[in-house]
Amino acid sequence: MEILWAPWRMEYVSSDNKGECIFCPGEDRNQDEQRLILCIGNLSIILMNRFPYINGHLLIAPLRHVSSLDALSAEEKLDLITQVEKSIGVLKEALRPEGFNVGLNLGKVAGAGVEDHIHFHIVPRWEGDTNYMTVFGEVRVIPEHIQETYRKLLPFFK
């Protein structure tokens, strides 16, 4: 049997905050870096995915806790797509990816990890960024520490 050590997961596994929604920012801005929050606007929030497919994987959600597109106002929908566009621009400048996967996972069966708060995924892609580890070993290789990527992206969202 092979063992893959991921001691950083213990913080999440033993956390008392599992019931809190990661997309609801609350009032305390002192935890933004720990929560990987890059930007809180009037209608939406941009944060990094704590369990990314690759470095720079961003999540964009409305501030209002809703689970479907039809529950959003026209203004919220426009703001979300505007923030998606802004985030793609930031990632292009900061990380220089060659492409992007952008999408929504609507419902648990579609892969939504947080199904009661709708959110977009923006996944930067580079030629050759996938390798045999994911296919054969069911392991993701992230080439940069998540805090380093956070430090690179944060100035672009200020």
Q: How far is it, in rounded angstroms, from Cα 153 to Cα 92?
A: 11
The residue annotated as part of the active site, out of 57, 117, 119, 121, is: 119
Residues forming a β-bridge with 62: 44
Residue 128's pLDDT is 77
Range 116-145 average pLDDT: 76
- Class of the CATH domain delimited by 27-157: alpha beta
Q: Judge whether 119 counts as a catalytic residue.
A: yes
Tell me the domain boundaries of the chain.
27-157
CB proximity list for 135: less than 8 A, separation 6 or greater:
none
The residue assigned the tokens 């941009």 is: 46
> How many other β-carbons are positioned within 10 Å of the β-carbon of residue 39?
20
Q: What percent of the chain has pLDDT over 70?
A: 80
Write the pLDDT tens digit of every residue in 23-76.
988 888 999 999 999 999 999 999 999 888 888 999 999 999 999 999 999 999
